[in-house]
């Protein structure tokens, strides 16, 4: 196990009859790191998350949270993990604070520690002003905040969030993303799955793509994008004669397949950020009136579409 790993998954395999839901999956996660867990429907994300939350057992392999095995030390793992499942039905006839109070009691918090934890978590999740509202009558966005608050009550070091923003409106998603950012800044490791890839791209340090239970690719979005596409598409707009600019660009190293369309020129560029900055400097130095210069980076959706085949199992 890596010295700094908060979560260390080693060769986890889970089968249901003939279906291999998760197959020899390994990855790790450090404190304060946010890892996006991506895959098509049925890829094995929820199964993996349930195993990490000790709700299921791997047939082979093991996973360690803070050095504790999910196989043989489930209670110790549960104290360290906050699992936010993809479904959440609050208990009826409880208001928000009563709901959190019950969960705190269930986690063994007693006396003032319980009251303090409930209030601070409710405050952090922006629930204090809804304290007297029925927990089952909250909006979807507030319900997810309540779900997150419930997950945080026992102060876990690892958060496993299974599609936490599904069904939320854009504002609620942004607010939720900010909460995740704050939690990561506080040193909590976060494994988060979502089908809203743009959102994951903004909140995750790295991603893990799985398909048919197997790891397809893992790493930071930039690293993966670079690995997938060594060329980057660059767009330039110039004031004046685009033909001159096109001629200049075609003489530059790393520039390929340049074409002009009115004042806009598009080309493929092979090289790193420094080489690209050098090209821009030379263009300006050559007297080209550049008023727009942008390099398109492969986004998470590109990565997802390129790395997965959409095979169902």
Residue 244 sits in the site that holds another protein (CB under 8 A): no
CA-CA distance, 111 to 150, in Å (whole number)?
A: 18
Q: Provide CB contacts within 8 A for 138, sequence distance 6+.
A: 90, 96, 130, 146
Residue 5 or residue 117: which is nearer to another protein going by CB? 117
Of 37-45, 82-90, 251-259, 269-277, the window that binds another protein (rule: CB under 8 A) is 82-90
CB of 191 to another protein, least distance (A): 15
Of 55-63, 216-224, 246-254, 294-302, the window that binds another protein (rule: CB under 8 A) is 55-63
Residue 120 or residue 214: which is nearer to another protein going by CB? 120
Residue 18 sits in the site that holds another protein (CB under 8 A): no
Burial 147-176 (b: 16+ CB within 10 A, else e): bbbbbbbbebbbbbbbbbbeebeeebbebb
Residue 105 sits in the site that holds another protein (CB under 8 A): yes
Residue 181 sits in the site that holds another protein (CB under 8 A): no
Residue 180 sits in the site that holds another protein (CB under 8 A): no
Residue 60 sits in the site that holds another protein (CB under 8 A): no
Closest-CA residue to 179 (of 131, 100, 124) = 124
Looking at residues 126 to 145 of the shown chain, list those that interact with another protein (rule: CB under 8 A).
128
Angle ∠(298,210,192) on CA atoms, nearest 5: 80
Binding mask 145-174 for another protein (x = CB under 8 A): -----x-xxxx-------------------
Residue 276 sits in the site that holds another protein (CB under 8 A): no
Closest-CA residue to 31 (of 63, 65, 70) = 65
Q: 25 with 9: CB under 8 angstroms?
A: yes
Of 113-121, 237-245, 286-294, 299-307, the window that binds another protein (rule: CB under 8 A) is 113-121
Indicate the helix (H) or strand (E) that contains 181.
Answer: helix 170-185
Closest-CA residue to 248 (of 289, 209, 189) = 289
Task: For residue 162, report the phi and psi dihedrals to the nearest 5 degrees.
Answer: -95, 105
Residue 296 sits in the site that holds another protein (CB under 8 A): no
* Options 55, 196, 218, 280; binder of another protein; rule CB under 8 A: 55
Q: How many residues does the structure list for the chain?
A: 313
Closest-CA residue to 47 (of 25, 75, 74) = 25
Q: Provide CB contacts within 8 A for 261, sequence distance 6+.
A: none
- Alpha carbon distance, N-terminus to C-terminus of the chain: 31
CB of 51 to another protein, least distance (A): 11
* Options 27, 83, 130, 248; binder of another protein; rule CB under 8 A: 83
Q: What is the binding site for another protein (CB under 8 A)?
A: 17, 53-57, 71-75, 78, 81, 83, 85, 87, 89, 91-95, 98, 102-103, 105-108, 110-112, 114-117, 119-121, 123-124, 128, 150, 152-155, 182-183, 186-188
């Amino acid at each position: 196990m890596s010295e700094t790993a908060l979560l260390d998954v080693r060769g986890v395999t889970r089968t249901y009859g003939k279906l291999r839901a998760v197959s020899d999956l390994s990855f790790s996660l450090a404190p304060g790191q946010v890892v996006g867990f991506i895959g098509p429907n049925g890829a094995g994300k929820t199964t993996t998350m349930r195993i990490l939350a000790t709700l299921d057992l791997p047939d082979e392999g093991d996973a360690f949270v803070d050095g504790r095995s999910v196989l043989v030390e489930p209670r110790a793992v549960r104290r360290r993990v906050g699992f936010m499942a993809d479904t959440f039905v609050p208990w009826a006839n409880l208001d928000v604070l009563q709901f959190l109070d019950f969960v705190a009691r269930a986690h063994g918090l007693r006396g003032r520690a319980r009251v303090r934890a409930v209030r601070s978590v409710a405050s952090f999740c922006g629930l204090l002003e809804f304290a007297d509202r029925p927990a089952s009558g909250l909006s979807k966005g507030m319900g997810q905040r309540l779900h997150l608050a419930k997950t945080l009550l026992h102060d876990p070091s690892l958060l496993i969030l299974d599609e936490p923003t599904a069904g939320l409106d854009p504002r609620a998603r942004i607010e939720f993303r900010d909460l995740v950012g704050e939690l990561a800044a506080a040193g909590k490791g976060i494994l988060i799955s979502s089908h809203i890839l743009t959102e994951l791209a903004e909140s995750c340090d790295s991603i893990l793509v799985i398909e048919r239970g197997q790891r397809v690719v893992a790493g930071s979005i930039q690293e993966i994008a670079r690995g997938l596409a060594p060329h980057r598409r660059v767009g330039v707009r110039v004031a004046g004669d685009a033909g001159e600019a096109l001629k200049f660009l075609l003489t530059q190293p790393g520039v390929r397949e340049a074409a002009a369309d009115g004042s806009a020129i598009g080309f493929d560029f092979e090289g790193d950020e420094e080489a690209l900055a050098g090209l821009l400097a030379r263009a300006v130095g050559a007297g080209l009136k550049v008023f727009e210069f942008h390099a398109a980076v492969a986004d998470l959706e590109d990565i997802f579409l390129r790395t997965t085949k959409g095979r169902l199992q």
